[in-house]
Structure 1
Amino acid sequence: MTSEGSHAFARKLEGFPGREPRLDEQASAAHGLPLETLAKVRKSQSWHHLGEWLSRHEVQEISSGRVEVDDDLAARLGIDGLPSGDRQRTVAALQSRHLHRVDLLAPSGNASLDIVLNQDGFAGWADPGQADLAAADGEGSSRLLQGERKFISGPWSVLPRLVSSWAGLAPAWAGWPPLKIPGSVIDSRLDRSSESGTEQFPPLDDAGEWWLLRLSGAGLQAEPWLISERIGCMAITGEPGDNDVTLVQVNGLSVFTSIVSYWDAALTDLAGGVT
C-alpha cells in the first residue's frame, strides 16, 4: 500500500526481521525468512515490540476506540515514535472487522496472536508467550491469569515473516515417509496429563517437543502444521470427519509459502477497499 497511513505501520516494526539471530545465516538469506529452532521460541518472542503489558480491561478499552491515544498511552503501546495522526490511525485498525487468529499450542503452554487487518496494515494483541509462562519470578503466569497482552502492528508485508518467526519454523530433516496416525495422538501429545501412545509411531518419539501452529479467521482456515523440535515441520492432512490424519514432513519454506498464501487470501477484500 502507498497510502499515508501505511507509513505508520511500516515504522512500527521497522527493521523486522533483519535484527533477528539466525539458526543458519546462509539458509535464511537464501529463503528470505528466519529459519530458527523451537528453543528460541521458548526463550523469547522472536519479534520486537516496545510496548508494555496491558490489562484485560485496558485492552478492551483501547480496542473499542473510546480512549484517546495521548503520549502516555502511545508510550505504553510502543508507538510513541509515530506522529500523532499515525498513532491514532494505527490503533484505529483494532476496530476493523477483519479478525484473524494465530495459535501456537504446546504442552508447555499456548500463545496466540489476535490480528485485525485494514487498508493500511495490521494491528492486534499478543498473548503471553511460553517464555513468560516459564519466568522464574512467576510473572508470566500472573500475566496469563490476568489476561494481560501486548500491542503489535505493522505493514501487511511483514505478516508472513512475523508469523513464521514467531512460530520458530525450523528446516526439515528429510527422511520420514508420510505417517498415518489417530488424531487423538496429536491431542494427547499436547496434553502432558495424557498418555501419548507414540511408542507405535517411532518418528513421533524422535521429534522432541511439538508445537501446533494454526491460522484462522475471516472465513479462512489454514491447514494446521506440527512444528517439532528435532525433525522440523509436518503438514497435517486428512479428510473431514476422519479419525485418522496423515503427517507429511515438509520443509519450513513450504509452511512459509502456505502462510503467505493465507494472508494473500485474507487481504483480497481489503485490496478492494473494504474496511
Structure 2
Amino acid sequence: MTAVAAGLIPERLGAFLLPCPDGWEIREAGQRMLAVEHPRVPDGVFRPNMVLRWERANGASIARYATAALASALQQLRDPRIISHELWRPNGGRAVAEGPGRRQRFVHRVGPHPVCVDRWIWETDGWMVEGSCSYTVGQHPGMKLLFEQMIQDQRIDAALLGRPENGETEAAAEAAGGVSRGLASGDLDSIAPREPRLDDAASAWAGTAVEDLGAVAGEQPCRNTGRIISIPSLELFDTLMHRDRLGRFQRKNPAAVQLQAAGLLTGEGTLTAAGEEFLLPVRQSDASFLLEARRAEGGSVLQAWIGGGWGKVTETGPDPDDLAVQLVPAGMVPGLIAGWAGLAPAWSIPHEPLVLTMDHYEARIGAAGTCPPKDPGSEVLRMWEQPWTEWQIVNQETGGWFGWVNAARAGHYRLSPGPGGSVRLEPMSSAVVWDVLVRFIHASVEGIPLLLPEVPGFNG
C-alpha cells in the first residue's frame, strides 16, 4: 500500500477511503454513487469534481464495459472527442480479476465550458468501479495530476460495496439491472451486447485480451464547422486592425461584399459587433500558433490566435482560395487542434525510438509503399504499415515547436531531430500528446516556462 501524498487528507465515506485536499466536499450523490467536489467557485466557473460509481460486474469483462463507456460518451455528450484509452492497474487493493483496468480521456462541452474527463474503470472482488474526474481544459495544469493522485491513493473495502442503500435490498439492486444501472456506460446490453472484437497485436504485447480501438477514430472524424471565407476577404478584413473603415472603392470589392454577407462588415465599410469580436483574439493576442500537417495525399494548415479569452482558428478550406474560420472560447482551441490532427485512442506499444535518415523519412511520408528499415521489429513493422500523417505546432512568437507522426492504429510518435541530421520517432500515447498540447498552449498564453511532468527527461 502506498502512502497518501502530502497535502491530501484521507476521509472515509462508506466503502471508500478517499484522499482529498483540505476544503473539498465528499457526499453521497445517489444510489451507489459518491461525489468529491472542489470548494465552491464563483458563478460562471466550472467546479472540478470526481464521481465514483460502482455496480456488480455480473460477468461483464473490463473490455466490454470500457467499450460501452466509450460508445456512451460518443452518443450522449455534447461535442465529444475521445482522446485516449489505455491499460491501467490500481496501486492498492487486489489485482484486477480479468486483466488490467482501463483509463480513458475525452473532452466535451458542459454549457459554455470545454471540459476534460479522465475516467478510470476497474474491477475489484466482483464489483465494477468507475471514477470520473472532470475539469475544464484551462484547469488542466492544476487539476489533472491532483486527480491522478487521488485516484491512485484511494482505498476500497469491497465488503462494504454491497450494503443496502436508500432502503434498497440487494435482491432489488440485482433485479434492477446489475452493472448496467446507474453507470456512465448506460445500458450495457443495448450499447455493448457482446464482447468486443480484440486487437491481436496489442493483446500479444499486453499479455491480456484488449479491445480493438480502430472503430473509435471512424466515429469521430474531423468536422470543420467554421464559416468559409475567401483568403482575399480575410486579408482585407485584417486591414481593419489599424483603421476604422474601408475606403469607398474597397467597399465595392467582391471581398468586402463577402464580409458584409458574413455579418462582419457594414455597408459603410466599418466593423459590425461580430466583426469586432472576430478581431479581438488578434488585437489582444497572447499567443499565436501555426500548425501544418502532411501526408501522402497532401497537406493542410491551421492557424490559431488566442487573446481576450477567445481563440480565432483558421484552417484549409475545401477550395485552395478559401479558409474555414471559427471564433471560439480560448479553452476550446486544444480540442479543435486534436480533431484536426486526428488525435484518437490507439494502443501505443512502447519500443526503442526509430531513427531514419532524412531521405528515408521523407520518402515514407510521401509514399506508404516505401520499404521499411532493415530487420524491423514487430512494433516498427506495425507502425510502418499504417497510414502516416506528420503534424507540427509552432509558437509564432517564440519559435517553440513540437512535432508528431500520427500512425493511425499504431498511435502517435514524437518527432525530433536525431544524430547526424536523422529523424527520431518515439512512441507516445495519445494521452501524453494531449497533455503536451494543452500545457504547451497554456504556457505560451501565460508566458510561463513549459513544464511537462508527463514526458520523462523533458527540460523545456
Q: Which band: TM-score by shorter chain? A: 0.5 to 0.7
Q: Hey, which of these two has a bigger chunk of strand by percent?
A: 2
Give the one of 253, 256, 265 matched to 2:443. Answer: 265
Partner of 1:237: 416
Partner of 1:62: 237
Partner of 2:3: none
3-state DSSP class of the match of 2:263? helix
Q: d(CA) in 2 for partners of 1:113 and 1:264?
A: 18
**Contact 1:212 1:227 (8 Å CA) reproduced:** yes
C-alpha displacement of 1:167: 1.0
**Contact 1:36 1:169 (8 Å CA) reproduced:** no
**Contact 2:292 2:301 (8 Å CA) reproduced:** yes
Partner of 2:349: 175
Cα offsets for 1:191-243 (capped at 9, x unmatched):
23x9733253464543211111200121132221111122001112335x732
Q: d(CA) in 2 for partners of 1:151 and 1:22?
A: 23
Q: d(CA) in 1 for partners of 2:215 and 2:399?
A: 27
Partner of 1:161: 335
Instruction: After TM superposition, list the pairs within 5 Å mapping 1:1-275 onto structure 2.
Output: 18-20=78-80, 22=82, 27-29=104-106, 30-31=117-118, 39=218, 45-46=222-223, 48-49=225-226, 51=227, 53-65=228-240, 72-74=261-263, 85-95=273-283, 98-128=287-317, 140=318, 143-144=319-320, 147-178=321-352, 179-192=354-367, 196-200=370-374, 201=376, 203-207=379-383, 208-216=386-394, 217-239=396-418, 242-269=420-447
Q: d(CA) in 2 for partners of 1:40 and 1:113?
A: 22
Q: d(CA) in 2 for partners of 1:212 and 1:36?
A: 21
Do the aligned partners of residues 36 and 124 (structure 1) sit closer, same or farther apart at CA in structure 2, a change above 3 Å counting?
farther
C-alpha displacement of 1:108: 1.5
Question: Which structure would you say has the larger RCO, counting Cα contacts within 8 Å and 6 or more residues apart?
Answer: 1
TM-score norm. by structure 1 comes to 0.67
Q: d(CA) in 2 for partners of 1:174 and 1:195?
A: 22
Do the aligned partners of residues 187 and 40 (structure 1) sit closer, same or farther apart at CA in structure 2, a change above 3 Å counting?
farther
Do the aligned partners of residues 244 and 18 (structure 1) sit closer, same or farther apart at CA in structure 2, a change above 3 Å counting?
same
Q: d(CA) in 1 for partners of 2:446 and 2:81?
A: 32
Cα offsets for 1:68-122 (capped at 9, x unmatched):
897632289xxxxxxx535412234345564321112211121111122222322
Do the aligned partners of residues 104 and 39 (structure 1) sit closer, same or farther apart at CA in structure 2, a change above 3 Å counting?
farther
- Runs of at least 5 residues in structure 1 that lack an aligned partner in the other structure: 3-16, 77-83, 129-139, 271-275
C-alpha displacement of 1:47: 5.1
Partner of 2:60: none
Q: Hey, which of these two has a bigger chunk of helix by percent?
A: 1
TM-score norm. by structure 2 comes to 0.43
Do the aligned partners of residues 233 and 263 (structure 1) sit closer, same or farther apart at CA in structure 2, a change above 3 Å counting?
same
Give, as a single letter, the amino acid of the residue that structure 2 aligns with 1:260: V
3-state DSSP class of the match of 1:220? coil
Q: d(CA) in 1 for partners of 2:84 and 2:438?
A: 21
**Contact 1:99 1:117 (8 Å CA) reproduced:** yes
Do the aligned partners of residues 95 and 40 (structure 1) sit closer, same or farther apart at CA in structure 2, a change above 3 Å counting?
farther
**Contact 1:104 1:111 (8 Å CA) reproduced:** yes
**Contact 1:124 1:152 (8 Å CA) reproduced:** yes
Q: d(CA) in 1 for partners of 2:435 and 2:215?
A: 16
Q: Aligned pair count?
A: 226
Q: d(CA) in 1 for partners of 2:356 and 2:223?
A: 32
Partner of 1:9: none
- Runs of at least 5 residues in structure 2 that lack an aligned partner in the other structure: 1-41, 43-76, 86-102, 107-116, 119-133, 138-213, 247-255, 266-271, 449-460
**Contact 2:349 2:410 (8 Å CA) reproduced:** no
Give, as a single letter, the amino acid of the residue that structure 1 aligns with 2:382: D
3-state DSSP class of the match of 2:389? strand
Q: d(CA) in 1 for partners of 2:83 and 2:428?
A: 18
Identity over aligned residues, as a percent?
12
